[in-house]
Homo-oligomer: A and B are copies of this chain.
């Protein structure tokens, strides 16, 4: 792998926003979507960053995603709202929906907003950190195209279905969880394919459901394994988690679910059926102040964080971290040095720039 090219973070945001605007995305929406994508790269989650700009661009160009979408509330209760995303950019729909969840959580103590007819929303963690200053515990989840097999299954039946949860802290930085519920994310397999390397055991299965270390077996109708990898590692738990998020985001919201979530990159093995509309999300908010005095909670969570960080690691490892530390450390570095782009991604963005603005 060659050295990444580093691009100053505001320049990259501007570039991404411009590409989206050329596809008729309104300016404010384009800035927001650019911020989600570039934040992913800043946090070191490159598989969800600007490397995906081309697929968003193409989906906007061919009308698969609406550039000018009008998400609207279709069901409205004080603590629960349901939003039709109008097939807009997932990042734009998700930002609007999570804002509603947070506003209601702040006033009601607890709230949920479910979304259907949306699209891939980037990193789940982006949305939940927006509630931290308001002392809200934020929850975000989404279903995604089916690439994961059920426990003991053979087919691609569920997405990597990520969940993010952020807990505000006092003097310490927040605890921010953001994780796919499969053993590894699709990006790990894509990397192995690109670099011609093998995968560790317990990550993918071939089309028959048997473990494989060859990423090509995934391409040939194989699947990602649920978190836990097999019975000994309790992969039924990974299956439970992925299923949980799929039900919250699909059957509950009215979006597609399971093997029928629209797969624009990796077709699922099952024959497609229309069981709902688009991709689904669920956003939750819990107001810390509804549970306890905020200062008291801050003291407790700061103590929790310091306690977890101060426990001795396995010899030879760096100090232990809390969820959110790796992304914060990456962001600090990348904001100072510029956002790192793989050379293939940088080349692709250059080509995209020429396609958007031919001279």
Contact = CB atoms under 8 A, between A and B. Distances in A.
A173 interface: no
13 contacts: A78-B109, A151-B320, A153-B314, A179-B234, A208-B314, A228-B228, A247-B301, A251-B297, A251-B300, A251-B304, A254-B292, A257-B304, A270-B311
Contacts of A276: 300
A228 B233 CA distance: 7
Interface in A210-252: 210, 227-229, 232-234, 236-241, 243-244, 246-247, 250-252
A50 interface: no
B209 A314 contact: yes
Interface of A: 75, 77-80, 82, 108-112, 114, 137, 150-155, 157, 165, 167, 175, 177, 179-181, 183-184, 200-203, 208-210, 227-229, 232-234, 236-241, 243-244, 246-247, 250-254, 257-259, 270, 275-276, 286-288, 290-292, 296-297, 300-301, 303-304, 307-308, 311-315, 317, 320, 322-323
Residue among A82, A157, A287, A313 with the highest chain B CB neighbour number at 10 A = A313
Of all A-B residue pairs in the complex, the 9 with the closest CB atoms, nearest first, are A209-B314, A80-B290, A251-B300, A200-B232, A80-B109, A79-B110, A79-B109, A177-B240, A77-B109
Contacts of A320: 150-153
Contacts of A301: 247, 251
Nearest to A158: B308
A155 B311 contact: yes
Contact of A232 (B77, B110, B203, B254): B203
Residue among A155, A240, A287 with the highest chain B CB neighbour number at 10 A = A240
Contacts of A203: 232-233
Contact of A154 (B112, B137, B229, B312): B312
A152 B79 contact: no
A233 B202 contact: yes
B314 A152 contact: yes
Nearest to A275: B303
Contacts of A312: 153-155
A265 B167 CA distance: 30
